[in-house]
Structure 1
């Protein structure tokens, strides 16, 4: 596998560590770093509400996908990390706005003890270009 392009956009939060927003590799694969509920304009975490945080995460992912000339239909796998698995149904409400049941990507969802900046959710994904 070779790295074809580093994807960076100011429409999603800048990385908070030594990583990139996304990497396009081998001409077809796009690997997006986990996105949290950071507002790219302010650099602040959005309200401590799972629905609002999920919406911001999805906005951040969408901005990175667009920068890579991709769309939600290109996404083949997502991984969701939740601070509280009791929020699963609320996250699904937001998630379903972006993916139809018929073509939704493969997905995993796990509860974790803590996420960066103490957010409630983080989502990473893989897309085919």
Structure 2
């Protein structure tokens, strides 16, 4: 098992890794938009979604992958009314690639954010870092 860390994405605030790689699979911990980059009281849902997608991308890149390597995404989202906004931002980030996905509506998230992502990718051995 290898711990994946990058300074390009915020460090965890608790006792967990940004991601863990095992046998080519990279498991990203649940990620919120970075509080030092985005204030949930000011920034709308799309800005939060874009910020957290950008952060996840940086962690995947630190492991040697791209969004094309993502096999599964779980999105925890406050407010089902944000579903179409999430689809819009998400589809721009992933393009034609369509990994398995689940959206879990939740009543609240830490620090007042409206979106949290958990991602699994598979990175071929020749590209792993």
What TM-score do you get using the length of structure 2 for normalisation? 0.88
Aligned length: 122
SS in 1 for 2:29: strand
Mark the runs of 5 or more structure 2 residues left unpaired by the alignment.
124-129
CA deviation profile, 1:21-59 (whole Å, cap 9, x unmatched)? 000002x110001111115xx366454310000010011
After the TM superposition, which residues 35-54 of structure 1 pair with which residues of structure 2 at under 5 Å, given as runs? 35-38=31-34, 42=36, 45=39, 47-54=42-49
Counterpart Cα distance in 2 of 1:59 and 1:100: 14
Aligned counterpart, 2:98: 104
Aligned counterpart, 2:61: 66
Larger proportion of helix:
2
What TM-score do you get using the length of structure 1 for normalisation? 0.88
Where has structure 1 moved over 6 Å in runs of 4 or more? none
Superposition RMSD in Å: 1.5
Counterpart Cα distance in 2 of 1:106 and 1:75: 9
After the TM superposition, which residues 1-129 of structure 1 pair with which residues of structure 2 at under 5 Å, given as runs? 3=1, 5-26=2-23, 28-38=24-34, 42=36, 45=39, 47-101=42-96, 103-129=97-123
Mark the runs of 5 or more structure 1 residues left unpaired by the alignment.
none
SS in 2 for 1:20: coil
